[in-house]
Amino acid sequence: MALHIGAHKTASTHLQASLNAAALDLAAAGVRFYGPDYLRKQGRTLPQMFGLAEAEARRPAPDQARFLAKDGHRIVLSEENFCGPLHDGRGQMAIPLYPLAEARVGALVHALNPLPVDLFVAIRDPARFVTSAYSQMLMGGHVMPFRAFRAANPFRRIGWAALIGRLRAVPGLRSLTVWQYEDYSATFGQIVSGLVGADAAAVVAPQARHAHRSLSARAVRATLASHKAGDAGDLALIARNRFPASSDGSDRFDPFSPDDHAASERLYAAQVAKIAAMPGVTLLSPPN
């Protein structure tokens, strides 16, 4: 079994769409893919299907795995909400990141034993991760100024190395593969090959469109202004449609200073180097 858990805001939706578009061809190759469209329905969440935490499963976990596999040999699950939400909806991100991640992954690995589980995780530059999380919060309907969101969620506290270290320590996990969001396009083939296997990877092509368009700077300003004026409705969605981001990203929302970005890049580079040195972790890199 391959388990992809995000993280949020690291092109998970694009990866899921690409795999889902090839689902029939993957099934013909013995690989069954299940993404959020399946795993977020009542009775089909990972805790419900595999009897994790206090959820009661319909069948023992190994039998559930065989049910999902059908006549195939590999199951691919992709659900970035499995390890917890990105933020609480009121502007607070969990620190450390995904505090329940290792417990939930560990419970799944234990339930599926002796079926081997391979884990896949993406990471992202801390400042840009915080910026994207803020935009997602606006799209979710909770509006607050970025300065307040940043004060509650300083980018210097985004600890990818700590998260990967915790996941690496999950007993019984067969492998852990990590890639950087910034390398997603260049490593797409490696990611897919790891998830579905080298033989089946050829049937998966990257989808052409961005799954979630980012908010432009004008859209963020319009959202905040509408909220201040007491307007109701999907303010960020309305603003995004009114002021779409340009294709070249020149008007994207970027609230951090050049000095902030430089500090974030240094922090990120140090964390990536630490992850690369971890035994039992494969850090993907673009081909030369």
Does residue 239 lie in a domain region?
no
Does residue 128 lie in a domain region?
yes
- Domains: count for the chain: 1
Does residue 16 lie in a domain region?
yes
Does residue 100 lie in a domain region?
yes
Nearest-angstrom CA–CA distance, 108 and 123: 22
From the first residue on, what is the mean pLDDT of each consecutive set of 10 residues in the chain (288 residues)? 97 96 98 97 93 82 95 97 87 90 97 96 98 93 95 96 98 98 98 98 89 85 97 95 85 95 98 98 95
Give the structural domain span for 109: 2-133+157-211+269-283
Does residue 52 lie in a domain region?
yes
| Per-residue model confidence (pLDDT) at position 50 | 94
Does residue 258 lie in a domain region?
no
Does residue 103 lie in a domain region?
yes
Q: CB-hemisphere CA count at 13 Å for 234?
A: 8
Nearest-angstrom CA–CA distance, 3 and 18: 16
SS (H, E, C) 120-160: EEEECCHHHHHHHHHHHHHHCCCCCCHHHHHHHCCHHHCCH
In Å, how far from its chain's centre is CA 15?
Answer: 10
In CATH, what number is assigned to the domain containing residue 9? 3.40.50
| Per-residue model confidence (pLDDT) at position 210 | 62
Does residue 164 lie in a domain region?
yes
